[in-house]
Chain A
Amino acid sequence: MSQSSPLNASPPVYPAVNYLNADRGVWSWLTTIDHKRIAVMYLVSVMFAFLLGGIFAMALRVELLTPGPTIMGANTYNRMFTLHGVVMIFLFMIPAIPGVFGNFLLPLMLGAKDVAFPRLNLLSLYLYWIGATIVLSGMIMGGTDTGWTFYTPYSTTTPTTLFPVLLGLFILGFSSILTGLNFIVTIHTLRAPGLGWMRLQLFVWAIYATSIIQVLATPVIGLTVLLVGIEKVGGFGLFDPTRGGDPVLFEHMFWFYSHPAVYIMVLPAMGVVSDAIAAFARKNVFGYKMIAYSSLGIAFVGFFAWGHHLFVSGQSSFNDGAFAVISMLVGVFTAIKVFNWVATLYRGAIAVKTPLIYICGFLFFIVFGGMTGIAVATVSLDVHWHDTYFVIAHFHFIMVGAVIMAFLIALHYWFPKMFGRMYHEGWGMVAASLIVLGFNATFIPQFLLGNAGMPRRYYMYPERFQALNVASTAGASLLAFGFIIILVYLIYALVRGKVAGDNPWDSRGYEWNTSSPPPKHNFDQTPIITQDSHLYQEPGEEVEHVVI
């Protein structure tokens, strides 16, 4: 720990033995049950998925440059947006933060040597790989053109290959459930001495809430995709109107998972930001309990909001109203977090580093994205916006603007923790600014497109929408450029980066109580927690207490 005074600071040393070099060879990685190595493998995998999804996204944007066909045919376009959705959501978003940072940091933050079930953890990763392979093989086998929502009866009648994707998702669901289960048990049983529930870092709280959703909601989507698969292959008629089935029932079952799934993606992001803000502002987390409980609140209330995806689907007006009003509560919980994050900055000692740029962007994006979510949950407004680019822009504000920003915050904040090396700060700033800018340029035009009435999943569109589409594509290329810069300097840092030292940010999160990168079993001796995390006073110093 770098509690030491800056005056006698010696140059940082790279720990001679750590989890990265404790064992050698590919086999030692593939059979590892070390949560940190599993996290690193997740990192590589989700980055690959993100790259793939990103390439699809760019292809879609280029296709939309002109109102007519540009670079691909309609069927290719339809398959591509399906793959973009499936890959980004199921292969990247859902495992990204829990799989990578949850796995890496949860035991460190708890002062544990590993997660509760290390072998199960490895199994999750393997299931993720198997599921991902099957999903992607479906792409090679002809591709699926249903959109990631698989609405029946289109999905059960489409001539394209659907089964591999459904099977892959079913397996990915298992992976997600097992990860969640593992984390819940870990948090319950493996907290270090002195680490009570109200001392947990907020990232842990967020992962806890996320895991609850994963465990409770994922079985339902597993069953649902199975039923669609059975219906498509066997003609069971459960969602088939010509046999008396109800396609709206499918929508209910699908969104019972897929709405909470949004919180599976965004809650860990909120956890990352809660911790990173405290670390970079050198401040205790303002309103700790409110943030912690609001995570649980979102997890809980998020289950009662799925019906707002069905406002124009033929659902009853009674249900529309009920789900709308509950959706508002999710907004309140998010607003609580935002207020507390901003207040955490108040009277801090803020070091403006790369993650801070993303945090600034994140705060703007989550308020704008969140409140446009409230706007589309306002029933009368949703009638116009439903299934238009407004909705696309809204959820990309949350998914990219909040989740990917948080992923990048986490990546930059914990990069030295994971690999013991620093990236180039200057390039980091440049890429961050590019991404925040490019993101706005990509998605703000899409809000306007939605206002103008352009429906989603449109291969060709009336000419009046072209200007905004071109603007959006231009923004997207900026965004892509930013990501490429990040990839380059991170890979460079991995090999040639400056040695970071054990705690380059002087962060007071518990995960920094060990060397960076950590040794194989995390701690040489079990840490004993004596105070809350993120308290930035020197020992013995008189603490100033402020109430606002």
Chain B
Amino acid sequence: MLGSGLLQGLAVTAKNFVGSFHDPARYTTVEYPEVKPALPEAYRNFPFLVSENATDPMGTLRCVACQICEKECPPQCIYIEKSKDKKPDAAGKPQIYPAIFAIDTSVCMSCQICVEVCPFDAIKMDQVFEIATTTRFEALLLNREQLAKPNSYYHGIHPTEAAEVDARLAADRKAAEEKAQAAAAAKAAAAAAAAAKAASPAPKAPDESRRSPQGEGGPPTPKPQSERGAVS
């Protein structure tokens, strides 16, 4: 009969009206500045630098200033200057560190390519979006002090991904240690052999056994981010 559709429509809106008072599924609006929206885990926006330690962020940056991200960045918003000296990294190995690491957030387009190409898992995507400032230049250019955030923060925003990264780093470190031990053993054996056989120089232990800097092209290591990206 004519008009039954109208009544059905009225019923739908009435249900939504009543439901908005008791049913969270019918009342999805979050009153933003007071209540922060619950961001999905895969949400990502603007990169940050991972440091191992919250108490000494500058000393424990994973970044070794290899400048791959600077070269790959499509809008060229990253600026890196290598340090002259070396500092021991988390594993205790002396590494170059970035004396200057700056990202211009007015240029950054959150494409995540820097994260994809980083061989050291040193730069990751953040979840910030409230980056509006009152100045056009200084406040939008983030230096390494502002960019550095501890690994625990990374675990806070992307738990699954951070766990994978940590596991991988731990495995790498273990493999490196084993290799170093093996190398040391070989060295010792060689030294012994040399001692036995008079003198010959020890073979140099390759310390770079991890995935290739080309990212996608690198065959062996699993790539958690790109997998997650494909799923989400």
Q: Do A and B come from one complex?
A: no
Which residues in B have some Cβ–Cβ distance to A below 8 Å?
none
